Amino acid sequence: MTDRVPILKLGRVLLVSIQIDLEDQTVLDLQDDLAERIVTTGAIGVVIDITALEIVDSFVGRMLANAAAISRMLDAETVVVGMRPAVAITLVELGLSLGGVRTALTLEKGLALLERGRATSADRG
């Protein structure tokens, strides 16, 4: 049996805080669960907190990129927060710069980014 990463709802934002050493199946489940929850909750944004992750390899990196792309198609924005400096250095050297993924240093900044983004699109009508 594999663990599932909990997805919390905080207002109109979904919050995922990854606290376990991820198995590949858990990573795939999270990607599917997120898409499902975005639609059922009508969330406008997703924050994925990776503060606790000691490594992000190509598999997890791909999940982050996919989650960002999938949520965008479902009218929600994804922000990855809390990446450790060593993880950023390693990802770039690995060849994965996660171009399509928005990041913020902290959870607070990530949430602020989502609120700002929504305000801007509301202005545009």
Are 122 and 75 in contact by the 8 Å Cβ rule? The answer is: no
Determine, following the binding rule CB under 8 A, whether residue 106 of this chain makes contact with another protein. no
Q: How far apart are CA 71 and CA 32, in angstroms?
A: 11
Nearest to another protein of 47, 98 (CB atom): 98
Q: Does 8 bind another protein (CB under 8 A)?
A: no
Contact 75, 41 (CB under 8 A): no
CA dihedral over 57, 43, 13, 23, signed as positive or negative: negative
Considering only residues 15 through 34, tell me which ones interact with another protein, judged by CB under 8 A. 21-25
36 binds another protein (CB under 8 A): no
Binding span for another protein by CB under 8 A among 5-13, 35-43, 89-97, 105-113: 89-97
Task: Select the residue interacting with another protein from 95, 120, 124, 125 (CB under 8 A).
Answer: 95
What is the biggest distance separating any 2 CA atoms in the chain, rounded to whole angstroms?
A: 47
